[in-house]
C-alpha cells in the first residue's frame, strides 16, 4: 500500500513562509516530497533556498493586495495545495484611539488576505477536481484567546468560518478545505511576551513543527475524507 502521507509530485504554496509556522510547514512539506513555493512580503534569501533544496521556490506577494494575489496565481496556476499561514498579531490597547487602524490591518491580513488567495486558487482546483486548502486559524478563534486582543480573536474566528464556507463548496468538487487552530506557539510572533504555562495542561508552549506536521497531513491524501474540520493543536486546552 502506498504511503498516503507522502506528497511526491505535489506543488504546495505556503503564505507567511519566512518564519514561524509557515517556514516550519514548508520544511515538513519538502520532507514529504512536495515542491514548495515559499510566499511572503519579502523574498526568501538565497541562503535559505539553498538550504531547503531544489524543490523550494520563492514568491513575493502582499496577500492584502488582490491584484498581486492574482499575479501570484498566474505565476503558479497548477498549485495542488495552499497553506494560508500569513497573519499578524499586534499587542496593542483596544481602548486606544489609534486602535481602529490596527483592527483594519489585522482584518486585512488575517481575513481578507486568506480570502484573496482562496478566491483565485479555489476555482482552478474545483475545475481539476483536486486540491487541498489549509486555513491557519487559532485557539483565539475558539475561546477568545489568552493574550490576544479582540481584533485577532475576531479575525481567527472569521478564518474558522471561512473553512466551513469553502468546505461546503469544495466537497462536491473533489477539493478538501480544512483548518488548524494552534495554541500558543513559540515563534517570533510571541517572542518576549509573558506566557503562563500553567494555563496549558501540557505545561508548555507548542513548537512550530508541532503545527507544521498536522498541516502537512491536511495537504496529503491521508486526509481525503476530511472537509470543513478545524484541527486543534493546543497542548490540551479544552473549551466549552
Query: Which pLDDT band holds residue 1 (cuts at 50, 70, 90)?
Result: low
Run of H or E including 144 = none
| 7-54 residue pLDDT tens | 999 999 999 999 899 999 999 999 999 999 999 999 999 999 999 999
Rounded to an integer, what distance in angstroms lies between the CA atom of residue 110 and that of residue 160?
Answer: 11
pLDDT > 60? residue 96: yes
Within a domain: residue 240? no
Rounded to an integer, what distance in angstroms lies between the CA atom of residue 18 and that of residue 20?
Answer: 7
CATH number for the domain spanning 204: value is 3.40.50.720
| 42-87 residue pLDDT tens | 999 999 999 999 999 999 999 999 999 999 999 999 999 999 999 9
Rounded to an integer, what distance in angstroms lies between the CA atom of residue 46 and that of residue 53?
Answer: 11
- Give me the pLDDT at residue 185, please: 87
Within a domain: residue 105? yes
- Give me the pLDDT at residue 11, please: 98
Q: Averaged over 129-144, what is the pLDDT?
A: 93
Mean pLDDT in the chain? 93
Q: Determine the structural domain holding residue 176 and report its residue range.
A: 11-233
| 162-191 residue pLDDT tens | 999 999 999 999 999 999 999 888 888 777
Rounded to an integer, what distance in angstroms lies between the CA atom of residue 236 and that of residue 154?
Answer: 22
- Give me the pLDDT at residue 187, please: 81
Tally of structural domains, the chain: 1
Query: Which pLDDT band holds residue 200 (cuts at 50, 70, 90)?
Result: confident
Within a domain: residue 6? no
Q: Which residues partner with 84 through β-bridges? A: 15, 135
Task: Estimate the share of the chain in helix, then strand, then coil, as percent rounded to the nearest 5.
Answer: 45, 15, 40
Within a domain: residue 239? no
Within a domain: residue 70? yes
- Give me the pLDDT at residue 19, please: 87
Q: Where do we find the cell 521556490?
A: 57
Q: What percent of the chain has pLDDT over 70?
A: 98
Catalytic residues: 152
Within a domain: residue 179? yes
Burial class from Cβ neighbours inside 10 Å (0-12, 13-18, 19+) for residue 134 reads: buried
- Give me the pLDDT at residue 239, please: 66
Within a domain: residue 196? yes
- Give me the pLDDT at residue 240, please: 44
Amino acid at each position: 500500500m502506498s504511503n498516503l502521507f507522502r506528497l511526491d509530485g505535489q506543488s504546495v504554496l505556503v503564505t507567511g513562509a519566512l518564519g514561524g509556522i509557515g517556514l516550519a510547514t514548508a520544511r515538513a512539506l519538502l520532507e514529504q516530497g512536495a515542491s514548495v513555493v515559499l510566499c511572503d512580503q519579502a523574498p526568501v534569501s538565497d541562503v535559505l533556498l539553498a538550504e531547503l533544496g531544489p524543490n523550494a521556490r520563492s514568491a513575493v506577494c502582499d496577500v492584502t493586495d488582490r491584484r498581486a494575489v492574482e499575479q501570484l496565481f498566474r505565476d503558479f496556476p497548477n498549485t495542488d495545495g495552499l497553506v494560508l499561514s500569513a497573519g499578524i498579531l499586534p499587542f496593542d490597547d483596544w481602548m486606544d484611539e489609534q486602535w481602529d487602524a490596527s483592527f483594519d490591518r489585522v482584518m486585512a491580513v488575517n481575513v481578507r488576505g486568506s480570502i484573496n488567495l482562496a478566491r483565485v486558487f479555489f476555482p482552478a482546483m474545483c475545475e481539476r477536481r483536486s486540491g487541498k486548502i489549509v486555513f491557519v486559524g487559532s485557539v483565539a478563534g475558539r475561546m477568545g484567546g489568552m493574550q490576544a486582543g479582540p481584533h485577532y480573536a475576531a479575525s481567527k474566528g472569521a478564518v474558522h468560518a471561512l473553512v466551513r464556507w469553502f468546505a461546503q463548496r469544495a466537497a462536491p468538487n473533489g477539493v478538501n478545505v480544512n483548518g488548524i487552530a494552534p495554541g500558543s506557539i513559540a515563534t517570533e510572533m510571541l517572542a518576549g511576551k509573558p506566557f503562563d504555562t500553567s494555563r496549558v495542561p501540557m505545561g508548555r508552549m507548542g513548537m512550530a513543527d508541532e503545527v507544521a506536521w498536522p498541516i502537512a497531513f491536511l495537504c496529503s491524501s491521508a486526509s481525503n475524507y476530511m472537509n470543513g474540520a478545524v484541527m486543534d493543536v493546543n497542548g490540551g486546552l479544552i473549551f466549552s
